[in-house]
Amino acid sequence: MERVFAHVRKAEVLRTYDFVDIIDRQKKIGWQVKSTMASTPVTWIRGKISNRGKMISESEKSRAGMKALGAAILAYCNQHIRHSGFEKYDLDHIGYIRLIVFPDGTLRYFERYLCSRDNPILFATEQYDWKWSVQKNAKSKEQLSALHGYFRDTCGTSPRKHWAWHGRGENQLHFSGEGEWWPEHGDPHSREFKFPTEGKLDFDDLVGLLLGDE
């Protein structure tokens, strides 16, 4: 999908593990690209936290330890954006490009602004509470507990789960809060189209759908 979006935006595909997937060097803009089924958790990053073992141990002893580990996870995310987005490629702005595939075959495409060189902090650590999930037993293997991050907004609504860090395993950091960025059906700032029932959607057709009336 990066190649399609890069063609639409006349940008360059980066085949790296940096935060941005495609960049426009002249305009100093980069984008992260995600494309999944609607029900598939988005793996935001592999959260490789320094002193992971010690921080996990401390998080099991106190609420302060959990909060410190959660803050370290989000600090890792913000630093990854700063270093492999703004510093490495000298960008001024970073956006987000998303293609969601729904069970009925509908595809929804949207773009949104994320952050800038002047304001690079995407996730504010003080807005989150953290809690370890209950470890579950599956039929064939043990599912290790994950550290869940709950977002607290200023509107008084109940905290919502945004994060799941699988630090006892392969460090995957799933970002379910990304779903709150999705535009509603029919939103004029997104594009929707049906996946073809026969054959495949070729490169030129997909480019045309994303460009729309542009």
Look over the chain and give the mean of its residue pLDDT values, rounded to a whole number: 88
Predicted confidence band of residue 193 (pLDDT cuts 50, 70, 90): confident
pLDDT, average across residues 118-142? 83
Contact yes or no for 56/171 (Cβ under 8 A): no
pLDDT score of 114: 97
Q: What percent of the chain is modeled with pLDDT above 90?
A: 67
Give the pLDDT confidence of 4-50 residue by residue, as tens digits: 888 888 899 998 999 999 999 999 999 999 999 999 989 999 999 98
The half-sphere exposure of 204 on its side-chain side, counting CA atoms within 13 A, is: 0
Does the pLDDT at position 152 exceed 90? no
Average pLDDT estimate for 174-195? 89
Q: Is 152 left (phi over 0), alpha (psi -120 to 50) or beta?
A: beta
Reading the block at residue 13, the tokens are 């595909």
CB-based contact 96:35 (threshold 8 Å): no
Q: Give the residue-averaged pLDDT of 87-109.
A: 93
Note the Cα 132 to chain centre separation in Å.
21
Of 12-26, 102-116, 189-203, which gets the smallest average pLDDT?
A: 189-203
**Any idea where the domains of the chain sit in the sequence?**
2-211
Mean pLDDT of 100-106: 91
154: left (phi over 0), alpha (psi -120 to 50) or beta: alpha
Please answer whether residues 23 and 10 qualify as being in contact, where contact means their C-beta atoms are separated by less than 8 angstroms.
no
Q: Work out the pLDDT band at 140, boundaries 50, 70, 90.
A: very low
pLDDT band at 113 (very low <50, low <70, confident <90, very high): very high
